[in-house]
Structure formats: structure tokens, C-alpha cells
Amino acid sequence: MAGHTGGLSARMPKRRTAGSGSAGGDASTAFWLMAPALGLYAVFTLLPIAATFWLSFNSSAGFNTSASFVGFDNYAKAADDPIVWKSLAHTFLWLAYHVVMAGGLGLLLALAVNRLRITQVFFRTAFFLPHLVSLAVVGVIWANIYDPFFGLMNTALTRIGLGAFTQGWLSDPALVLFSVNVASSWQGFGLYMLLFIAGLQNIDRSLYDAAEVDGANAFQKLIYVTLPGLHEVTTFVVSLAMINGLKGFATVFVMTNGGPFYQSELITTYIYRLAFQSQDHGLAAVLCILLSLLAIAITIVFNRWRARLSQ
Amino acid sequence: MSMRNREWPVALALTPVLILILAPFVWLLISSFKTEAEIGRADPFTWPADLMWRNYLDAWQIGGFGDLVGNSLINLVGVVILSLITCAPAGYALAKIRFPGREWLFYAFILGLTVPVQAIVIPLYQVLFGLNLVNTLTGIVLVQVSNGIPFGIFLMRSFFIGVPDDLIEAAKIDGASHVQILTKVFLPISTPAVQALVIISALSTWNDFFLPLIVLISPEVQTLPLGLVRFASTYASDYRLVFSGTVISFLPIILLYILMQRRFTEGLTQGAIKG
């Protein structure tokens, strides 16, 4: 396989055509223009997708052991594994938290920031800062913020007279998934805010003038002009937030490693655990298929929705 | 007129939100200059008695941050350059050349845009192992480029579609090949797309954690986020090191962003909307 990719990149400088415009010449030009991308993509994405599918029907106890065909055994095993169901439920909850918290905050701040003229750049820049931090680093930061002894969260709550609300943010099984998601959403909302601002700036100003002529107040303008004008961006942000949520891994891995009692285990963290720690590749592959199907379903549903809305 | 009147009430109302959102940065920055005893006193709101610049020196040396930053830079430059080399020609071909199999390729790339990388991680690791690329920066660059290819291709393609076909016809009459049309006509007028691709691939590479976690096992080859997590768990009880190390790992990119915020913002929104 080394030879294969090597061959593709070695041939790259030679891609050259007469540019005759004939159909055959164009097809071979297209092939050479596609070759570097397609070669890399085939080896590191398409092949692994196919292999994951194959792996889900085989049993293998590690990277160095040979696999044997077991039919749907891995799928049956997954259905019997309570942690699979837990991680699936947590993933859905995680998506909902992320869409509401990060997407919602992004929308609210965009609506506010977009009204600013003089200080807009300042607020936009400042609100975007958390998005520049790697989610793994966000995990390190927020693990310290939640620290029960010297962490910012509990001390600040106590200081402003809300001592009753101090919590073991990461040790309480009922709270842990939410707490970790707050960290992820803190990092994520800035991008959604920028997208909403771009959407707001694309709304035709004359619609507001027309609404004003009709005597609409600020609230009516929001409901009848702004929100409908944002529907395409909203669909996009919600689907992006869901896909980002589905990929969520680093904050959980760093802050709780799925604990306590698997209460923050996501499909992604369970895949990692199965694949690289307990080396149950068959079961891990079933979860990989599940994760892919979820991602594909989300993409299709939202594209349909988007198409219908923009008719 | 009414706009100006609305400015200051809104800005004033946003200020507490801003303080809340930036509090983690401020807290970390202040704490990173404290002594171990000051942090242990569990009062995050007191100012450090002396600014402990030593913390930064210690963290930098003990954590090997020089190497981590170096590896992250190599990683970033490699991914950005390879992404451009692979995505621009492919995006051009998909946008402007009719060839058999174009639709199938399009769907194949949509598949990659959708399926999360965690869902293919086992075979991905096996492929890297087979190619002897585990634990190498070459390995991480190739995997991340491949991971970004669907997005990059769609981004370039949607910009190129907007370029009038007349330009191609005119260039062809002058005897230009498709490669020449791409490099001499399309790329020069596609600065926004190239800028978007550079910023988005740079940011996602710089911040990636999952793929480096799988590929980069030894500390000498690790990138910044991975190295910081390892450092923070090794020195978990030495908070001043963890705090200053964390600041080291995000401060450079934040300063860079503040300097170039217009380009970042344009690139990110253009990329997201066009891609």
C-alpha cells in the first residue's frame, strides 16, 4: 500500500494534458486532477469505511490476531451490552444539550451583537475566543473550573451567595454529562454565532423597512422577518451542531473518561475503550456502524428539511 | 440614528455575558502566576503577591513545550499545503470538467463528509500500521489531510462553480491546459476560498486531539493538545505547572486571532457557508 500512495504522489507533477477540449482528453485530465485527493481519500477513508463494515461481522481480539467470520454475533452482543445502550442514550442527550446550549447561545448572541455598530468587532472577537482552544485543552481547563476544592465554579457560586448550588460537578452521576457538555458548548458556540451573524447580514434590509411601514414593532420584526430569514442558516447550524456533537470525544475523554459509572460514556468514547483498551474489535465495529448510521441519518434528515424549507 | 441610540444599552447588557464567558481565561491567567500555596488557599479572586514568571519557565522546560509547538507547526504546515495541493485540483475537476463517474465520486466524498472519523478508527489504525506510519508526523499529516478532503473539495468546488465558463473557453483558445487554467486563472481569483481552506484546515489541525491520540504515541512526536493532556495528568497535583502549561497552549493562537480577526472571521463563515 505504501507503493500505491507513493505512486500517486510521484505521478502528480506529470499530470499534463494537451487541453484539446476533446471528451477523452478531458476525462483523463480530470482523473489526474482527482488522483492525489482520491488516492489519499481511498486509502485513509474509503478503505477504512469498508473495512469497518467487514470487521463488524468478524471476531478479533486485537490488532495482531486474525479475524473469523461470526455473522451477526457482534450485533447481538452489542444489543445485550447495557453500556452500549447507555452510551447511545448519552449521545442523544449530549446532542440535545449541545444544540440547545451552544446553538441557542450562538443565536442569542448573534441577535444582540448584530445590533452593534461601533463595538461589534470587539464583542464578536471576544465571544469567539473560546472556539480557538482545542477541545482537549478545554477539558483540562474545565476539569479545574469544576474542581470541588479550589475550582472557579464552586468558589464563585459561594462568593455571590449561591453556595447552595455548589456541586460535585463531575462526580455527580446525574450531572456529569451536562457539566462536561457545558465545557464543549462553551468552546462551540462562537462558530455558530458567527454563522448566525453572517445569516443576519444576508437578510434583505427592505423587508425591515416594509415591516416598519406596516407598523410592526421590534418583536414582530423578529418573528416575521428575522427568524424566517435565518431559517437556512438555522438548519445548517443545527445539523453542524449535531454532527459536531456526535463527534464529541475529547472533553469527555479528558475530564471524566466516561465516568463515574459510565455516566458520561458516549458512543465515541466507548469505541475508543473497546478498540484500544479492551481490544474487542468486533463489538467496537458495530458501534462504529451505529455512529456512522446516526451521522448519515442526521445529514439526510436535515438536508431534506432544508430543501423543503427553502422552497 | 436609532441605531446609534441602541448601541450602548446593548453593549452594556452584553458586558456581564462577556465577563462570564471570558472568566475561565482570566482565572487561568491569574492563577498561572500564583505560587502553589496561593492556589491551595482556594480563593481564585485574589491577586498573586508576586508574578511567578518561573511557573512558565518550569512548565515550558518540564513539559517539553518547545518540541510540542514544533511538532504542531510541522503538522499544521504539512496539512495546509497538502490540503491545497489535493483539494484545489479535485474541486476544479468536479466543478468544471464533465467525466464519467463524477456523480459517484461526489457521493463518495459526501460519505466522508458525514461519517465521523471515530467510526473508522480501527481499520485506520491498521492501515497506518501496515504503512509503518504509526507514531510519525507523516502519518498524522496524511490522515488529517484525508479527513479534511471532502470538506476541502466541496469548498473549492462551490467557489469554482461560480467562475464563468467563458473564462475557460477563452483560456483554451489561447492554448492553455486545464492545469494552467487552474493555476493561472482560477486560483488567483479564488483568494476567499483558499483563505477559508487554509484557516479551517489550520485551526482544525492545530486543535485536533482524537487522531493524534491514536497515531502519536511517543512524547517526542506529540502535538500541543495531546502533550498538554499528558502533561496535565502527569503533574495533576502541581497546579501552577498545569495552569501555566495550559496558558502556553492557547495563548499563541488567541494572540494570532486577535491580530488577524477579520481574515479568520471571513474565512470561517465563507468556508462554512460555501462548503
| Structure confidence by residue, pLDDT tens digits, B118-144 | 999 999 999 999 999 999 999 999 999
Residues of chain B with C-beta less than 8 angstroms from the C-beta of A151: 44
Query: Which of A21-25, B7-11, B56-60, B98-102 bottoms out in mean pLDDT, i.e. has the lowest?
Result: A21-25
The helix/strand/coil state of B79 is helix
Q: Is B35 left (phi over 0), alpha (psi -120 to 50) or beta?
A: beta
Write b or e for each residue in B3-39: b if 16 or more Cβ atoms lie within 10 A of its Cβ, otherwise e: eeeeeeebbeebeeebeebeebbebbebbbbbeeebb
Mean pLDDT computed over A120-147: 96
pLDDT tens for residues A98-112? 999 999 999 999 999
Look at B146 and A137 and tell me if their CB atoms are within 8 Å.
Answer: no
A58 - beta bridge partners? Answer: A69
Least reliable range by pLDDT among A94-98, A155-159, B53-57:
A155-159
| Rounded distance between C-alpha atoms, residue A45 and residue B104, angstroms | 15
**Poorest-confidence range of A97-111, A244-258, B37-51, B233-247?**
B37-51
Q: How far is CA B135 from CA A4, B158, B217, in A?
A: 21, 36, 5
Rounded to whole angstroms, the Cα distance separating B127 from A185 reads 33
* Cβ neighbours of A195 (radius 10 Å): 24
- Give me the pLDDT at residue A9, please: 29
Q: What angle do CA A105, A107, A113 make, to 5 degrees?
A: 95
Distances (CA, A) of A41 to A35, A54, A107, B157: 10, 19, 35, 17
Task: Report the pLDDT averaged over residues A7-34.
Answer: 54
Q: Are A193 and A109 in contact (CB under 8 A)?
A: yes
Which phi and psi (to 5°) does residue A15 adopt? -65, 115
Within chain B, where are the H helices? Answer: 2-31, 36-40, 54-62, 65-96, 102-114, 121-130, 137-161, 165-173, 178-180, 191-207, 210-215, 224-234, 239-259, 261-274
What is residue B82's three-state secondary structure? helix
The residue assigned the cell 482537549 is A136
Residues B108 and A80: their CA atoms lie apart, in Å, by 33
State how far the alpha carbon of A265 is from the alpha carbons of A90, A177, B6, in Å.
Answer: 7, 8, 46
Backbone angles phi, psi at A147, to 5 degrees: -55, 125
pLDDT of A89: 97
Q: Nearest Cβ partner of B85 from A36, A125, A284?
A: A36
Q: What are the chain B neighbours of A141 within 8 Å (beta carbons)?
A: 24, 28, 246
Residues B147-199: pLDDT tens digits? 999 999 999 999 999 999 888 889 989 988 888 999 999 999 999 999 999 99
| Beta-carbon contacts below 8 Å between A and B | 304
Q: Which residues of A touch B178 (CB under 8 A)?
A: 17, 19, 26, 29, 33
Cell numbers linked to A61: 481480539
Task: Examine residue A260 and say whether the peptide bond preceding it is cis (omega within 30 degrees of 0).
Answer: yes
Which residues of A are less than 8 Å from B192 in CB distance?
none
For helices A23-41 and B137-161, give the axis angle rounded to 10 degrees: 140
Phi/psi of residue B51, each to 5°?
-75, 115
Closest CA to A286 of B147, B122, B107: B122
Q: pLDDT tens across A244-259, in order?
A: 999 999 999 999 999 8
- Predicted pLDDT at B275: 59
Residue A86 — very low, low, confident or very high, per pLDDT cuts 50/70/90?
Answer: very high
Q: Are B253 and B206 in contact (CB under 8 A)?
A: yes
Element (H, E) at A141: helix A135-145
Model confidence at A2, in pLDDT bands (50, 70, 90)?
Answer: very low
Instruction: Reply yes or no on whether the pLDDT at A150 is more than 90.
Output: no
Using the Cβ of B46 and the Cβ atoms of chain A, whether some distance falls under 8 Å is answered with no
Task: Give the pLDDT of residue A306.
Answer: 74
Given this model, what pLDDT does residue B271 score?
79
Asked if B22 and A126 come within 8 Å (Cβ–Cβ), the reply is yes
Considering chain A, what is the average pLDDT of its residues? 88
pLDDT of the residue at B74 = 98
Mutate to test the interface with B, among A17, A45, A47, A208 (most CBs of B within 10 A): A45
What are the tens digits of pLDDT across the range B95-118?
Answer: 999 999 999 999 999 999 999 999
Contact A134 B225 (CB under 8 A): yes
**Amino acid identity, position B73:** L
**Sign of CA pseudo-dihedral B220, B224, B227, B231:** positive
**pLDDT at residue A20 greater than cutoff 50:** no
A13-A7-B152 Cα angle (round to 5): 65
- What mean pLDDT comes out for the span A177-198? 97
The pLDDT of residue B274 is 67
Range from A14-18, A191-195, B256-260, B269-273 that averages highest in pLDDT: A191-195
What's residue B254's pLDDT?
Answer: 93
Beta carbons of B26 and B215 less than 8 angstroms apart: no
Using a CB-CB cut-off of 8 Å, the residues of chain B touching A246 are: 116
Which one is predicted more confidently, A307 or A279?
Answer: A279
- Looking at residue B120, its amino acid is I
Q: Which of residues 156-195 of B touch A (CB under 8 A)?
A: 172, 175-182
pLDDT of A12? 31
Distance linking the first and last C-alpha atoms of chain A: 47
CA–CA gap between residue A154 and residue A288 (Å, rounded): 38
Picking from B11, B177, B272, the nearest residue to A18 by CB comes out as B177
Provide the terminal-to-terminal Cα distance of chain B, rounded to the nearest Å.
37
**B20 contacts chain A (CB < 8 A):** no
User: What confidence tier does A148 reach under pLDDT thresholds 50, 70, 90?
Assistant: confident
Overall average pLDDT of the A44-65 stretch: 89
DSSP string, B191-242: HHHHHHHHHHHHHHHHH--HHHHHH--SGGG--HHHHHHHHHHHTTT-HHHH
Contact residues on chain B for A198, CB-CB shorter than 8 A: 269, 273
When pLDDT is cut at 50, 70 and 90, the band that residue B2 belongs to is very low
- Angstrom distance (rounded) from CA A164 to CA A141: 24
Looking at the complex, report in whole angstroms how far the Cα of residue B158 sits from the nearest Cα belonging to chain A. 16
Q: Is the pLDDT of residue A18 over 70?
A: no
Mean pLDDT of A261-277: 96
Q: For residue A296, which residues of chain B lie inside 8 Å, CB to CB?
A: 111, 114-115
How many angstroms away from the CA of B11 is the closest CA of chain A?
7
Is residue A68 helix, strand or coil? Answer: strand
SS3 (DSSP) at A58: strand
Nearest CA in chain A to B38: A150
Closest alpha carbon within chain B to A194 = B269
Q: Which of A1, A191, A291 sits opposite B118 (nearest CB)?
A: A291
Q: What is the pLDDT of residue B36?
A: 84
The ipTM (two decimal places) reads 0.93
Angstrom CA distances, B136 to B91, B204, B215, B222, stand at: 29, 19, 7, 9
Using CA coordinates, name the residue in chain A closest to B230.
A254
What percent of chain B clears pLDDT 90, i.e. is strictly above it? Answer: 74
Q: Residue A14: what pLDDT?
A: 33
Q: What is the mean pLDDT of chain B?
A: 92
Q: What is the DSSP letter of A59?
A: E
pTM: 0.91
Q: Mean pLDDT lowest for which of A160-174, A297-311, B167-181, B232-246?
A: A297-311
The whole-number pLDDT of residue B42 equals: 63
Residue B83 confidence (pLDDT): 98
Which of A126, A133, A236 is opposite residue B250, by nearest beta carbon?
A: A133
Please name the member of A123, A134, A271 whose beta carbon is closest to the beta carbon of B14. A123
| Facing A136 at nearest CB: one of B17, B178, B229 | B229
Cα–Cα distance, A7 to A4 (Å, whole number): 5
Q: Residue A311 — very low, low, confident or very high, per pLDDT cuts 50/70/90? A: low
Q: Using one digit for the tens of pLDDT, what is the confidence trace for B199-215?
A: 999 999 999 999 999 99
What mean pLDDT is predicted for residues A66-92? Answer: 94
Mean pLDDT within A2-7: 28
Percent of chain B topping pLDDT 70? 97
Interface contact flag, B175 A19, Cβ < 8 Å: yes
